[in-house]
Structure 1
Amino acid sequence: ELYEGRAGIRETLAALALLGAVYMLSQVMNGVVNCFGTVYNRTVTKEADKAVFQKCQRLSPEEYEKTGRLDEIDKAVNGAKSAVSLGMTLLDAVFFYGAYFLIVGGYLTRMNAALGWCVAAIFLPCLFSKFLQGHVFGKAEDAAAPYRRKSEYYERCLTEPSYLKETRLLGVNDVFEARFRQAEEKLGGLRWKAGLEKFRYDMAGNLVNILGYGVILYLLFVSVMTGEISIGAYSAVLASINRVQSFMEELIFELLEYASGSLASVDNFYAFLDEKQTERTERLSELPSVHLERVSYRYPMAEREAVKDVSLDVKAGQIVAVVGENGSGKTTLCRLISGSYEPTKGEVTCGGKKASALDGTGISAVFQNFCRYQMTLSENIGISCGERKADRSEDKAGQTADQMEALDRKVELSLEAELSLEAGLSLEVGLSLDDGRFPEGLDTMLGRYFDGTELSGGEWQRVAIARGAARPSLLIVMDEPTSAIDPFEESALYHMFRKTAEGKTAFLVTHRLGMARIADRIIVMKDGQILQDGTHDELIVVKGEYKRMYEAQSAWYR
């Protein structure tokens, strides 16, 4: 009646009031979205990232030896960033644009059934083309993941301090620049190919859109000329059609454009999270003995076995040194014993439980390739403790002075108990809190990333040793724990390792045979197999690999 000019004052005012209410509601909702949208986006993105991190933590360490798995993780991380935005986009598409099209489509159908069907005929083919584009981008994402990882790695080699000193000194920047460009060119080629296919689908969608719009205008013209609708109704319908056209272009060529490009990434994100993983539920409950029964292990894509047909029995509480040349299988053997890797043949048990089923509780390690956490000294050491004893930067929040002092004392006492702190909190690993290197004591930030104190390689390794020793454990693996420490100072650490290993089943991987003498038992490995097994005194009198290595090292000190 409004369009025909037959509505009364009451109907007109009611229509205006409804229009005003809808307008006010839209402004309020826009304000809510602008105010809370960013906060919501960040919160949900954080949860999506957290889900990926937790999934990665549940993966077996050997999964990271597989290139394909690394590509899947990269795609999942990339998809986590798009998941929230895609969700918001689809909500907009359904509840805003979809609702609008249904209302306007219903109105047009009331006036002329053909008009409503024309709107659907325009929209659905364009929507289908966007889903086809999603498939195109999915294939492109699968192909792009390895090149993107290469590009990111070469970029780190050119920009990160840990690489920069060496690459600049050796003059190899141009090598990494060339490889970075090659990876980017591959990525660009994949994007170009996907873009061409997208362009073809877009052109088909645009053609359908234009034809549909032309048909609608023709039907409106015919309806006016035949008297089916008035000029007022024609104007209202034309305005609605123009708005529908504008919204449709916005939906299809902006929102759905983004959605089709992100859909594959988000699908990778959910596929990664939905993968079934074998849960590690076993725990060490007592000092474990270790048993290996004809164990072999081959790394993914490797041609030969790193460990071959190894059988071994270690009594609970024994300290075992594992020695041998590079590539003899020492580190791999210890990874099998700690449950990090699952043998390809045979079985490894710790305390009567399958090693690969252990959840890590009661197991500690000191790695040759240790981490340099950009955190405080206290956090660097205490991060390995199950109760996070040394995470004081968070624990202090909201605490009173007395509570903070008590917390500090608790941390210091826990560190003293685990690390045998000397007077003045001087660590037996060779780090003194009184020599000026740590101006804030345990709260001194380490590393330059957050403007902290940078340590030498040997000092960082001492921190790593302290971290491994601080973790409550029944089984400890120490893999070349003194590789970065001065040999003159190394002897001072021998008794500390012996003390750290007391009351535990311990494995010590080392090239330095002098350090192996602290062990109750020495295993000599070569080509993935155990050649000799015994004490230092037993092995040194036998003409074999151990005596040859010992004499070769001793010759340098004569």
Structure 2
Amino acid sequence: MEVKKGNAWTSLMRALKMLMKDSPLLIPCTFVMAAFEAASPYINILISAEIVTELTLPNRDIKHLFFLAIVMAVANCVVGLLLAFLYQFQDVLKYRQMKIIDGKVAEKSWQMDYETVCDPKVHEKANIIPHWGYDHGVLALVKQISEILSALFTIAISVVLVVEFFSLKTTEGGTLSQALNHWLSPVVFLTLFGLSAYHNIWAAAKTQKVRYQTDNDVEQPFNQVVDIFESCCAEYQRGKDLRMFCAQGMVRSHLLMLFDKLATLQTTAQKYAKKMILVSFISTRAFHLFTYIFVGLKALYGAFGAGSLLKYTGMVEQMSNGIGRMCNAIREVWQNIHYIDDYFAYQDLENRTSTGTKPITEDILNDYVFEFRNVTFTYPGTETPSLTNINCVLKKEEKVAIVGRNGSGKTTFIKLLCRLYDPQEGTILLNGTDIREYRYEDYLKFFSTVFQDFCIFALQLGENVASESVYNEKDVICALENAGFKERLKTLSDGLHTQLYKYFYDDGVELSGGEKQKVAIARCLYKDAPYAILDEPTAALDPVAEADIYQRMNQFIEGKGAIYISHRLSSCHFCHRIMVFENGQLVETGTHEELLATTGLYHRLWHAQAKYYQS
């Protein structure tokens, strides 16, 4: 799925509106801060110029000199303290805004349907955006706005001094003096100023385009891969395999190879950037040199004295500095717009799964029939169908076992039934109605599931079972006991409030594979949905524990429909019907006895497994 971008200007306006809405004080704070930053150097320039002028007078006033020095010191202290406060206040506001953005990204991920979340491009963006911090995206825009405003204020103050500068005429005669007073001199000055600014912006735009391309096409995917490899080394759960198989060297070699590849690509980008920086440097310094010469000549021909010379050379320095900072900030905004656009493109992603409007009523919950009618499904980004022309019926109170070799389409069948994906061909019906017509949220509540790749969260045990923070403790304990977790629960001093895993707490409890599977089954039982689906629910349990779990499950879901997927064919005994998948097709269906009476795939799988138990 392509993460479509919008108009860059529109994204920029959206970012500003978002900042004003989420953090109303952030932009005003930045504006005031930029004004003080711009004014700060002119305090020294203007007052120092007055001091020098006073010193050059034959009858200089010592009291006035002391007064100017005190004013300069006090003004610097006041502005410095104000800026320190504003910097700190802005940092607090930016941190809050960063957490708001992280929350919006997480919320968007939660709201996405499963098919969209599983898309590699979407997944990449979801992982990268929270790592931008203050360097890219909406928050980086705050710094860039501050730089642009500060530069504009600096240039504005300089323009006032420029007007004053050109209003002062040379008093000594000569052709050069007349040329300095000519009306074309400010035109030449403004032309050179414009050319310098244009070259800076042009070079910045070219440089940032190459940098963004390198960052987006190479560096971001690279960082994602590095995170994966580094997690292999850092996560304690993977540490056993890493050390037992001495795999550190293998991981290190992959990282070094990736670093070398990135370094080569970055070197190419840096060479191009150096050329553009050289263009910018020459243009800025040429303007700088011309202005210094111009100011020096006007002073030489009597337009102003030594104090004003200091003031106007300071003006040149600040104007040049303002141009440089503004061009640099515009360059950064130019690059950052791409990141802002990426953020809003992610936020604007639409779910592929239609929500439907039809409610699931009590009548449907009490009496239901699912039907797969000519269903074919191919995973996005692949060409070979995972399921082909599936036709079957699933009834209430019917226990169905689904068996088949690895990759035969068993789990895909379940994902389609649960509407984690929608089929490209055919229809899945619930009581004769296409399941896409039902409200998506209502439909998901229809199922209690245990997937083979289930997730146990680093939260409290009770929260893992109930999937919510406030729950009925008696019901949770009942679900855990029915899942075979009773004896283990007795050993936990904090009971349902036991923290699982050591990610957040040193005293977090580690569960074995079988114990985690029991917690996942307890979660399924606690939900108490009309239809239960267990995909390899007992793979980590021993045969005795497995038999006990199945017996308890059958009692607990009496009167409900259920699907069991298991490589241990012993689970098929208590099922009403068995469906056999092979290469994405439903090749056999029937009872255990009926299928054993044939010489089909189920017959071969059963006897292959029985042979090892008998021997």
Match of 1:358 among 425, 431, 440: 440
- Alignment pair present for 1:150 and 2:225: yes
Q: Report whether the alignment pairs 1:540 with 2:540.
A: no
Range that drifts further, 309-318 or 520-529:
309-318
Partner of 2:89: 36
Does residue 1:477 correspond to 2:533, yes or no? yes
Is 330-339 or 55-64 further displaced after alignment?
55-64
Count of residues paired in the alignment: 524
**Distance in 2 separating the partners of 1:354 and 1:80:** 42
| C-alpha contact 1:89 1:259 (8 A) present in aligned 2 | no
2:487 aligned partner = 432
Mapped pair 1:167 → 2:239? no
Which of 366, 377, 380 is residue 461 of structure 2 equivalent to? 377
Q: Secondary structure at the match of 2:454?
A: coil
Conserved in 1, the CA contact under 8 Å of 2:201 and 2:331?
A: no
| Shift in Å, 1:483 | 0.8
SS in 1 for 2:500: coil
Q: Give the distance between the partners of 1:93 and 1:552, measured in 2 at CA.
A: 73
Aligned to 1:367: 451
Residue pair 1:320, 1:506 contacting (<8 A) in 2 also = yes
Q: Which residue of 1 aligns with 2:371?
A: 291
Q: Structure 1 CA distance, aligned partners of 2:143 and 2:69?
A: 31
CA spacing shift, 1:376–1:54, aligned 2, 3 Å: same
Give the C-alpha shift of residue 334 in structure 1. Answer: 0.5
- Matches of 1:353 and 1:14 in 2, distance apart? 87
Contact 1:290–1:350 (CA under 8 A) maintained in structure 2 = yes
- Tell me, in whole angstroms, the C-alpha distance in 1 between the residues paired with 2:66 and 2:582: 94
The aligned counterpart of 1:133 is: 207
Deviation string, structure 1 residues 395-419 (Cα, Å, up to 9, x no partner): xxxxxxxxxxxxxxxx313425xx4
For 1:481, what is the secondary structure of its paired residue? coil
Distance apart, 1:213 and its partner CA: 0.4
Q: Secondary structure at the match of 1:374?
A: coil
1:89 match: 143
The answer to whether residue 103 in structure 2 is matched with residue 50 in structure 1 is: yes
Give the Å deviation of 1:260.
5.8
SS of 2:375 mapped into structure 1: strand
Runs of at least 5 residues in structure 2 that lack an aligned partner in the other structure: 1-45, 55-60, 167-185
1:120-161 per-residue CA deviation (whole Å, 9 max, x = no partner) reads 443343233222222112211232133332222222223322
Q: Measure the CA separation in 2 of the matches of 1:413 and 1:353.
A: 38
Quick one: which amino acid aligns to residue 412 of structure 1? Answer: E
**Distance in 1 between residues matched to 2:528 and 2:86, nearest whole Å:** 48
- Paired residues of 2:483 and 2:518 also in contact (CA < 8 A): no
Q: Which amino acid aligns with 2:114?
A: P
How many angstroms apart in 2 are the aligned matches of 1:164 and 1:41?
Answer: 37
Give structure 1 stretches of 5+ with no counterpart. 391-410
Structure 1: distance between partners of 2:190 and 2:70 = 27
- TM-score normalised over the length of structure 1: 0.83
Listed one character per residue, the Cα deviations across residues 1-34 of structure 1 (whole Å, up to 9, x for unaligned) are 998989xx9xx99999998997677445424334
> What does residue 179 of structure 1 align with?
254
Change (3 A) 1:19 1:275: farther
- The Cα shift of 1:332 comes to 0.7
The SS at the match of 1:343 is: coil
| 8 Å contact from structure 2 (residues 97, 139) kept in 1 | no
AA paired with 1:190?
A: L
Instruction: Describe the shift of the 1:102–1:549 C-alpha distance in structure 2 as closer, same or farther (beyond 3 A).
Output: same
Whether 1:342 and 2:422 are equivalent positions in the alignment is yes
What is the CA-CA distance between 1:342 and the residue it aligns to? 2.0
Q: Does 1:321 align with 2:401?
A: yes
Q: Equivalent pairs: percent with the same residue?
A: 21
Deviations 1:215-249 (A, max 9, x none): 11122133334544554333212112223334554
Q: Is the contact made by 2:401 and 2:572 (CA closer than 8 Å) also made in structure 1?
A: yes
Aligned with 1:483: secondary structure?
coil
**Structure 2: how far apart are the matches of 1:296 and 1:183?**
39
Deviations 1:163-217 (A, max 9, x none): 2211322233322221121122222222222222222211111111101101111
Q: State whether structure 2 residue 278 is matched by structure 1 residue 208.
A: no
Q: Which residue identity does 1:142 align to in structure 2?
A: N
1:119 shift after superposition: 4.2
SS of aligned partner of 1:432 = helix
Aligned mate of 2:567, from 504, 508, 511: 511
- The amino acid of 2:423's aligned partner reads P
Q: Is residue 148–residue 183 contact of structure 1 (8 Å, CA) maintained in 2?
A: no
2:314 paired residue number:
239
Show the counterpart of 1:302.
382
What's the offset of the Cα at 1:454?
1.2
Report the Cα distance in structure 1 between the residues aligned to 2:557 and 2:377, rounded to whole angstroms.
Answer: 27
1:109 aligns with 2:163: yes
CA RMSD of aligned residues (A): 3.4
* 2:450–2:521 Cα contact (<8 Å) kept: yes
Distance 1:289 1:41, change over 3 A: farther
AA partner of residue 185 (structure 1): D
Amino acid at match of 1:354: I
User: Residue deviations 1:512-553, cap 9 Å, x none?
Assistant: 222133333321111111112233343333442223222222
CA distance in structure 1 between the partners assigned to 2:93 and 2:145 by the alignment: 14
Cα deviation for residue 261 of structure 1 reads 5.8
Query: 2:7 corresponds to which residue?
Result: none
Q: Secondary structure at the match of 2:487?
A: coil
Alignment pair present for 1:448 and 2:502: yes
CA contact (8 A) 1:133 1:260 kept: no
Distance 2:376 2:69 in 1: 81
2:476 matched to which residue of 1? 415
Worse overlay, 113-122 or 543-552: 113-122
CA distance in 1, matches of 2:142, 2:234: 35
1:378-393 matched pairs, under 5 angstroms: 378-383=462-467, 385=468, 388-390=469-471
Q: 1:310 to 1:505 in 2, by over 3 A?
A: same
Task: State the TM-score, normalizing by the size of structure 2.
Answer: 0.76
Structure 1 pair 90–533 and aligned structure 2 pair: CA distance change class (3 A): same
Q: Match of 2:538, SS?
A: coil
Distance across 1 between alignment mates of 2:412 and 2:343: 31
| Structure 1 residues 440 and 237: alpha-carbon distance in aligned structure 2, compared to 1, 3 A threshold | same
Separation in 1, partners of 2:345, 2:133: 11
Going from structure 1 to structure 2, the CA distance change for 1:37 and 1:469 (only over 3 Å counts) comes to farther
C-alpha separation in 2, matches of 1:535 and 1:298: 29
Per-residue CA deviation, residues 344-393 of structure 1 (Å, 9 max, x unaligned), is 2222244534359723344332111222322221122122x5xx434xxx
- Residue in structure 1 matched with residue 339 of structure 2 by the alignment: 265
- Within 1, Cα distance between the matches of 2:144 and 2:73? 27
Cα gap change, 1:434 to 1:331, in 2 (>3 Å)? closer
Task: Provide the C-alpha distance between the structure 2 equivalents of 1:343 and 1:218, rounded to a whole number of angstroms.
Answer: 75
